[in-house]
Structure 1
Amino acid sequence: MKFDLLKINSIDQVKKIMKNINADDIGIELMINKTINLSFLIYECDFYIANIVKQEALASGIDACVSKDAITAKVTKTDCLVFGDVKRLYMLANKLVNQSFKDLRELGIKLKQQLDAYFGNFLWQVGEKTFDLTNNYLIMGILNVTPDSFYDGGKYDTVSKALFRCEQILNEKADIIDIGAVSTRPFSQIVAQDEEKKRLLPVLEAIRKRFPDAILSVDTFNSSVAKEVFNYDVSIINDISGFTFDENMSECIVECNFSCVIMHIKGTPKTMQENPTYTHLITEINDFFDNAIKKLSKNNYDPKKIVLDPGIGFGKTTQHNLEIIKNIESLKIFGRPILIGLSRKSFIGNILNKDVNERLFGTIGANVASYFHGARIFRVHDVAANKEALEIAYQLNN
């Protein structure tokens, strides 16, 4: 039984969900004003389970919306929207844990775990530094040493050009430099690992000599590359495959004690934009994260070293990307900070009808919206412009 933790932001949003559940119209009007708290949506719940959840929710002083046909068993399955204030959601979780049905007990345990994580401290351990990202934010500046990245391919593909770009990123006050030597733009081809190392390692050596205090992240999905960059005091591995392209990557991260970014992708860069489809987008992304985190946790990896990235543009349509941004809060159920990498991407161009070179303003707008929806790390090409906008957002939020 799967469910999403939801943050309801408007009456229109919850009305749409209740209509999709096929709730009674009068019931919708009675329930709708109770939903502007914290909610979670259970998918394809057995009708008898849904009825018990609703009964226990009402007993806890909150409510649950189920199909109008669930009470008479005219349907065997129904989605179930549970909503209320946090105190009573915890009360409900404790009631469910004591139920005789296994599904209800598991639901109660999972609900409590997710509430605990959602309201926890979002700390990110990077080397000897700890960043509190409960409300604060970080800027990750992009340094592509590739010949074919979608925006800046070929601009920084020599050591001297890369050093120039690195200095620019640091002067504009980025917190982290994310260095990639393989383009993962849509429909891109796989690059041999030897070629990736040939592009990457000389740049890392030069950067580390020139900027010894810089926090470096390497964008790679190859464990052999990750092992070699360990020698250059790299702190973070940013794996766009979430450990799915190289089965040894999770073990490498544990062995080298890297911090990491786990990104969601559907397919490969070559195939990911060939009509990507989802049944429950946010649930499927969270399931992906859960599997990746388990690969690390079985080796006693410190979860405070993990950041999660839903992978804007990696196997998503424009509407998928917008849905992710609107529901970033639902990705916080693991208690880990959320990174968003949407800089100058095609969904912005699709909405604004702008070429990649004209997407700065759209990028800033989308990043500010992402911050207010719960993102805290922003991977960008244009450091100064995004940092200024996010600083205003941060001050408004605090």
Structure 2
Amino acid sequence: MELRLRDRVFAPGEHAVMAIVNRTPDSFYDRGRTFALDDALAYLDSVVAAGADVVDVGGVKAGYGEAVDAGEELRRTADFVEAARSRYPDLVLSVDTWRSEVADVLCARGADLVNDTWAGHDPELVHVAAKYGAGIVCSHTGGLTPRTDPFRPAYDDVVADVVARTTALAQRAVDAGVAPEAVLLDPTHDFGKNTRHSLLLTRRIGELVATGWPVMVALSRKDFVGETLDVDRDDRLPGTLAATAWSAAAGVRVFRTHDVTATRQCLDMVSAIQGTRQPAVSRRGLA
């Protein structure tokens, strides 16, 4: 299935990089680097120049932290979406929110994709996406409510559970009026899962790809990478890129990342190995 977002078409075999812009003072990785609007817009310019195909903005930290109501979430994100849309009319803009009232405002200001990382917690979210012709990301959290961490999660088969729940959410989105080619599945590593679950999901990611829906992964510097290698978040890029290359070779289409340049190069190398991309230059052996 082709993936269509805004005026962009991502064909099977094409890899899209989704850059992360956190409009939060307490974000997991960048610790508020893009909280201020000017800093966020400067970072936007840099990731677009580095090859980002999609930019995902969020106003609420995924994990535990200070309470952020819908009004504050919009104060953190709406100005960025409006400015980003004016600055880059053709760029695919994604909004990381589980709240339909927030998505409604942000889609009205130009967002093209609703990145629902909390697995349909707000059932009205798909109707907002349909209203604006936006896409939606269907995620898996194992039943967790927003901003909570797993405690001893258990599955008979975590991969089967992810496939069943995300495809059901995808069908619900289509039934609500979202275009099938604008629906993405996200296995949602770490959310509702321990490290062994996330490793197994990565190993068997091809089973999610085989559903036919475009698949997105958010692997960037996640805890499962850190625990696997026993490294802190600042040292998780090599492990992230290994998981990225594995997933790309298996057919994953969109990669949400903190490290746009490294991820773009990793994906371009996978494409070249697969034969779907030519080398940027080819001089060796010619002189």
Under a length normalisation based on structure 1, what TM-score does the superposition of the two structures give?
A: 0.66
| Equivalent residues of 1:140, 1:174 under 8 A apart | yes
Where 2:137 maps in the other structure, the secondary structure is: strand
After the TM superposition, which residues 67-82 of structure 1 pair with which residues of structure 2 at under 5 Å, given as runs? none
Relative to structure 1, the CA distance from residue 218 to residue 365 in structure 2 (aligned partners, 3 Å threshold; closer, same or farther) is same
Where 2:271 maps in the other structure, the secondary structure is: helix
Q: Following TM superposition, where does structure 1 have runs of at least 4 consecutive aligned residues deviating by more than 3 angstroms? A: 187-190, 269-272
Provide the residue aligned with 2:36 in structure 1.
158
Provide the residue aligned with 2:61 in structure 1.
183
- Structure 2: gaps of 5 or more residues: 276-287
Amino acid aligned to 1:246: D
Identity %: 31
Provide the residue aligned with 2:6 in structure 1.
127
Shift in Å, 1:222: 0.6
Which is further off, 337-346 or 281-290?
A: 281-290
Shift in Å, 1:269: 4.5
Higher relative contact order (CA 8 A, sep 6+): 2
Take 2:66 and 2:158, find their aligned partners in 1: how far apart are those partners?
A: 26
- Structure 1: gaps of 5 or more residues: 1-121
Where 1:276 maps in the other structure, the secondary structure is: coil
Shift in Å, 1:337: 1.2
Where 1:334 maps in the other structure, the secondary structure is: coil
Provide the residue aligned with 1:198 in structure 2.
75
After the TM superposition, which residues 218-233 of structure 1 pair with which residues of structure 2 at under 5 Å, given as runs? 218-233=95-110
Relative to structure 1, the CA distance from residue 221 to residue 269 in structure 2 (aligned partners, 3 Å threshold; closer, same or farther) is closer
Provide the residue aligned with 1:141 in structure 2.
19
Shift in Å, 1:189: 5.6
Where 2:4 maps in the other structure, the secondary structure is: strand
| Equivalent residues of 1:144, 1:181 under 8 A apart | yes
Shift in Å, 1:190: 4.9
* Aligned pair partner of 1:262 in 138, 162, 180: 138
Shift in Å, 1:154: 1.0
Which is further off, 222-231 or 265-274?
A: 265-274
* Aligned pair partner of 1:359 in 207, 226, 236: 236
* Aligned pair partner of 1:171 in 49, 59, 62: 49
| Equivalent residues of 2:133, 2:179 under 8 A apart | no
Where 1:310 maps in the other structure, the secondary structure is: coil
Relative to structure 1, the CA distance from residue 347 to residue 160 in structure 2 (aligned partners, 3 Å threshold; closer, same or farther) is same
Under a length normalisation based on structure 2, what TM-score does the superposition of the two structures give?
A: 0.91
Amino acid aligned to 1:209: S
Provide the residue aligned with 1:335 in structure 2.
212
Take 2:224 and 2:150, find their aligned partners in 1: how far apart are those partners?
A: 12
Amino acid aligned to 1:304: E
Take 1:384 and 1:293, find their aligned partners in 2: how far apart are those partners?
A: 30
| Equivalent residues of 1:219, 1:238 under 8 A apart | yes
State the Cα RMSD in Å: 1.5
Provide the residue aligned with 1:309 in structure 2.
186
Shift in Å, 1:378: 0.6
| Equivalent residues of 2:56, 2:94 under 8 A apart | yes
Deviations 1:24-59 (A, max 9, x none): xxxxxxxxxxxxxxxxxxxxxxxxxxxxxxxxxxxx
Provide the residue aligned with 2:149 in structure 1.
272
